[in-house]
Amino acid sequence: MTPLEAGVLAWLGKAESDLLCIENNVVAPRVPWDVVVFHAQQAAEKLLKALLVGAGRPVPRTHDLVALFSLVVEAGFPITGSRADIELLSRFGAAVRYPDPVYTPTEEDGREMAAAATRLFTTVLGLLGV
**Nearest CA among 102, 94, 120, 99 for reference residue 39:** 94
Tens digit of each residue's pLDDT (9 = 90 or more) over 23-33: 999 999 999 99
Tens digit of each residue's pLDDT (9 = 90 or more) over 80-97: 889 999 999 998 766 666
Specify the 3-state DSSP secondary structure of 61: coil
- Residues in Cβ contact with 50 at an 8 Å cutoff, skipping those fewer than 6 apart: 8, 11, 12, 15, 124, 128
Q: How far is CA 77 from CA 8, 59, 82, in A?
A: 15, 15, 11
In a structure prediction context, what are the per-residue pLDDT tens digits for the chain, which is 130 residues long?
Answer: 788 899 999 999 999 999 999 999 999 999 999 999 999 999 999 999 999 999 999 999 999 999 999 999 999 999 988 999 999 999 876 666 677 766 788 999 999 999 999 999 999 999 999 8
- Residues in Cβ contact with 60 at an 8 Å cutoff, skipping those fewer than 6 apart: 67, 68, 71
CB 10 within 8 A of CB 46: no
